């Protein structure tokens, strides 16, 4: 079978008749299949926690989406507001609690046009917030996950996201900070890092530093600016203007969080309590209930598209003659 035969393509089925499984596939297979349907660059090797999940519609035995979860960033403005303060990065016990409790969604990508016809992005996001996925994480890493985070695909230039309208599963918590340069990747980053390390006489940052790539690149820019400031004022001005202009390319992202139905997550993360308390919505976070919640929305969406003859039937995957309509 060709890869495209593995993707959901029966657009006569109502969401009410669908059933789903969530599995952990072989990493190479996951990456290959994801790259067939995703328009963004997908990293194969990720530091920290990393789980790849394949969501399959079981009545057709075909793939409807991809999920990759990983360790969240240490500092986040919306999370700081949620907690009432930044995490105490010098408090190893607090950082240990956070590392043992939080996970972030880096890939939440439905196959297309399943995503368009059935609100597939909302299905995958709801599954991320389910106790089933939480149990998978806890079993693999011996953790007690109680906080899920993700950001919108588009930045602040878009006023909405596929994650809107998902209470109580996901709640919008504000916009991220964005005063960062776009990161170098691949060989370009490796060559620059080696060049700077050789001339600096030692690594630019510690090997176990958090957000290491961002800190290395920030240090590179700082060294260049200091050198130019000392030896070439004209080039210093040009480089500074270039850096400021490039920072403007990075948009603020819409930031969303889930507490899996617990009512005291901020207190637990700050180690003010060692016990998580179930809230009034806790039972809504089972895999069964997240799918039921999605089925109601997706059925309304599907019926409306069908009534207006707007169902999309052409499978959108990357190939030489691809005519892709949906960026994801």
pTM score, whole prediction:
0.77
Q: Residue 160: pLDDT above 60?
A: yes
Q: Residue 147: pLDDT above 80?
A: yes
Overall average pLDDT of the 148-159 stretch: 73
Sequence-distant (≥ 6) Cβ neighbours of residue 275 within 8 angstroms: 268
Residue 18 near residue 57 (C-beta atoms within 8 A): yes
26-66, pLDDT tens digit by residue? 878 888 888 888 766 555 556 678 899 999 999 999 999 99
What number of residues does the chain have? Answer: 328
Residue 210 binned pLDDT confidence (cut-offs 50, 70, 90): low
What is the pLDDT at residue 8?
Answer: 94
Residue 1 binned pLDDT confidence (cut-offs 50, 70, 90): very low
DSSP 92-141: HHHHHHHHTTEEEEEEEEE-BTHHHHHTHHHHHHHHHTSHHHHHHHHHHH
What is the pLDDT at residue 248?
Answer: 62
Instruction: Give the integer Cα–Cα distance in Å for 52 and 42.
Output: 12
What is the pLDDT at residue 70?
Answer: 92
CA-based torsion, 137, 142, 144, 149: positive or negative: negative
214-270, pLDDT tens digit by residue? 788 888 888 998 899 889 989 989 988 888 777 665 567 789 999 999 999 999 999
Residue 251 near residue 156 (C-beta atoms within 8 A): yes
Pairing between β-strand 102-110 and β-strand 62-70 as defined by DSSP bridges: antiparallel
């Amino acid at each position: 079978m060709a890869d495209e035969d593995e993707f959901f393509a029966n657009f006569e089925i109502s969401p009410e008749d669908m059933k789903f499984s969530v599995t952990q596939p072989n990493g190479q297979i996951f990456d290959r299949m994801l790259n067939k349907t995703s328009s963004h660059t997908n990293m194969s090797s990720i530091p920290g926690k990393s789980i790849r999940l394949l969501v399959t519609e079981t009545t057709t035995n075909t793939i409807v989406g991809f999920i990759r979860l990983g360790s969240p960033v240490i500092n986040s403005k919306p999370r700081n507001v949620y907690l009432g303060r930044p995490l105490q990065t010098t408090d190893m016990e607090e950082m240990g609690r956070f590392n043992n409790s939080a996970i972030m969604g880096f890939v939440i990508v439905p196959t297309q046009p399943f995503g368009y016809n059935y609100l597939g992005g909302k299905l995958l996001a709801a599954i991320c917030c389910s106790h089933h996925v939480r149990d998978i994480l806890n079993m693999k890493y011996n953790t007690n996950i109680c906080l899920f985070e993700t950001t919108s695909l588009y930045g602040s230039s878009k006023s909405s996201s596929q994650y809107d309208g998902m209470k109580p599963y996901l709640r919008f918590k504000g916009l991220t900070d964005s005063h960062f340069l776009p990161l170098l990747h691949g060989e370009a980053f490796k060559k620059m890092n080696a060049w700077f390390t050789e001339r600096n006489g030692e690594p630019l940052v510690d090997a176990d530093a958090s957000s290491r790539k961002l800190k290395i690149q920030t240090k590179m820019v700082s060294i260049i600016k200091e050198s130019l400031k000392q030896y070439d004022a004209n080039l210093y001005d040009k480089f500074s203007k270039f850096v400021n202009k490039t920072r403007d390319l990075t948009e603020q992202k819409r930031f969303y969080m889930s507490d899996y139905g617990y009512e005291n997550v901020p207190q637990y993360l700050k180690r003010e309590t060692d016990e998580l308390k179930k809230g009034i919505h806790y039972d809504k976070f089972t895999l069964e209930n997240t799918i039921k919640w999605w089925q109601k929305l997706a059925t309304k969406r599907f019926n409306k598209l069908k009534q207006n003859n707007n169902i999309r039937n052409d499978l959108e995957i990357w190939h030489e003659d691809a005519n892709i309509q949906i960026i994801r």
